[in-house]
Homo-oligomer: A and B are copies of this chain.
Amino acid sequence: MKKKRVKLGVIGLGSRGFGILKGVLMLLCEQGSIEILGVCDLYEDRAKNAFECVKEKTGKAPICTTDYREVLAIKELDAVLVMTAWESHIEISTAAMKAGKQVGVEVGSAYSIDDCFRLVRTHEETGKHCMMLENCCYGRRELMVLNMVKLGVFGEIVHCSGGYLHDLRSEIANGDINRHYRQRNYLLRNCENYPTHELGPIAQVLNINRGNRMLYLTSVASCARGLHEYIVENRGADHPLAKVDVAQGDIVTTIIKCAGGQTIVLTLDTTLPRAYSRGFTVRGTKGMYCEDGNYIHMEGESEWTPVAGKVNSADKYAEEYEHPMWREYKKNPVSGHDGIDWLVYNAFIESVAEKTTPPIDTYDTASWMCISTLTEESIACGGKPVSIPDFTNGKWILRTEQEETSDSMYCLSKIVKK
């Protein structure tokens, strides 16, 4: 593809940011799709590491700073990646749009509804987009199942579930006590703090903001036991972390009701021993998919088949229903999160280069990010249902078919013919 080379600033170079820089971004530089003009982190050592990495791999020295405004001030810049601590995602993203840059923001969530509206209003005022770089939307199974949903294989979809089911105790307990944003969030907040794995892929299945929307939610957290017990046993009862209360419940369950009548159950499950999963599950009137066990059950199969007997039955559907994006990707696979990072970053860079609306747009980003603050409110008030704002202000009713005309291979909402 002979596309415009996108001029990029990278803000936030902690573990995730630096990992993406070294992997996906350096490869995109090599391929000539992007050029990195600025790197920034609040901590000088991180910014310098990134600077050295870019300079060594590309031969060009980017601006290196601890103040993100210096990156936004680079005039030729087309876009920035925001990979900072969750708390600053919206602040930096809105500042970037106001500076005329397109924004790709890493996975995270919001701390107030007002901040989400600020994101949307800034997009509407500037015409710039803020795409959440939700890599799970580009998961292989997620896309295969989305393809099957769009083709009607599962009938009408009435329920989905999923979550972030990932034992993070070691990461949180061993993190630097001053710099680790996830750690400080776990100590002080109690909410669904990481909703977009698997809300992102579910939003595609249920056409959220495109003919459907999330109406209200209710959320309840279990007590917090796992992290403290882990800290005491692994870092000792005298460690400073062992002496502070953990606010974040071990398991947070959230039920979301949609305008179309569907329900979504989200689970945050990160501080107890478990095997990794995102628990992606789609239920329709003609069949279902379940990531746990990797199985598909279709209408007409025996209702008594025990679930354990169906394990890995999804594999046989791949030949017929693999998403074209993944058929293409598998020809030239690259490293990093099973290809999902590669796909989502390419989707963003393409939308910047082509000046198109990204497949995950600012309304999606805001409506996914708001879940965190709404669950915080619901949990604090004993599972009180809270309404989910319509950030589109009614445009979701008209946006039904909008995206299906996109000719981007990264488009999530169009129907892909076999």
Contacts and interface: CB of A to CB of B under 8 A. Distances in A.
B288 A308 contact: no
A87 interface: no
A149 to B, nearest CB: 14
Contact of A308 (B167, B272, B292): B292
Interface string A49-82: 0000000000000000000000000000000000
Contacts of A220: 218, 255, 257, 263
Interface stretch (A179-187, A277-285, A356-364, A404-412): A277-285
B158 A251 contact: yes
Nearest to A294: B308
A297 B223 CA distance: 20
Interface in A207-238: 216-218, 220-223, 225-226, 229-230
Contacts of A226: 158, 285
Which A-B residue pairs are the 5 nearest by beta carbons?
A223-B261, A167-B303, A383-B385, A218-B383, A222-B263
> Interface size for chain A: under 10, 10 to 19, 20 to 34, or 35 or more residues?
35 or more
A410 to B, nearest CB: 26
Contact of A297 (B222, B251, B274, B298): B274
17 contacts: A158-B226, A218-B220, A218-B383, A220-B255, A221-B263, A222-B261, A222-B262, A251-B263, A251-B283, A272-B284, A273-B286, A273-B298, A273-B301, A277-B306, A308-B311, A384-B384, A384-B385
Interface of A: 155-156, 158-159, 166-167, 170, 216-218, 220-223, 225-226, 229-230, 249-251, 253, 255, 257, 260-263, 265, 269, 272-277, 283-288, 290-295, 297-312, 382-385
Nearest to A257: B220
Given A159-B251, A292-B292, A382-B216, A303 B273 contact: yes
Contacts of A306: 275-277, 294
A156 B290 CA distance: 28
Given A255-B220, A272-B283, A158 B225 contact: yes
A166 B303 CA distance: 7
A223 B255 contact: no
A308 B313 CA distance: 11
Contacts of A263: 220-222, 249, 251, 253
